[in-house]
Amino acid sequence: MSGHRIGRTTEDIKRELTAIFRRIKDPRVADCFISIIRVEVTNDLSYCTVYFSVIEGMERAKEVQKGLKSASGFIRRELGRSLHLRHTPELIFKATDSVEYSANINRILNGLEITDFDEEEENDEA
């Protein structure tokens, strides 16, 4: 399968998973905001690794991962129905802390005191 088709299929899977996650009724998954970070599909479409993050932190993400694993049959069936693939890949969910990491970097950057470059030049000349 060509790289272009794999890339397009990966984006389709990511888009559909976002919609499917909203329909999951498992309480471990239903009451949190899941952000899909990256989706990796093998060349033969037999496995799909979904990297996701949760705003509430890594402990909550591990709990969500258990919920997604138990709902993987439902998710896979819905994915197959919506994408009309000949073979729907087996889903592997991996939690990451990238949203929490990004939020921490944002807090650090917001805490920096930024001075205007023109003001520094005026102070140096005086």
- Domain count across the chain: 1
Q: Which residues contact 23 (CB under 8 A, 6 or more apart)?
A: 78
Domain coverage including residue 59: 3-97
Whole-number pLDDT of residue 41: 93
Does residue 22 lie in a domain region? yes
Name 91's bridge partners: 48
Confidence (pTM)? 0.76
Please list the rounded mean pLDDT of every run of 10 residues in the chain (126 residues): 80 94 90 91 93 89 94 94 90 87 82 66 59
Whole-number pLDDT of residue 126: 55
Does residue 122 lie in a domain region? no
Whole-number pLDDT of residue 125: 61
Closest CA to 39 of 84, 79, 86, 87: 79
Q: What is the CATH number of the domain that holds 54?
A: 3.30.300.20
Tokens encoding 62: 């591990």
> Cα–Cα distance between 100 and 35 in angstroms, integer?
11
Tokens encoding 120: 């520094």
Does residue 68 lie in a domain region? yes
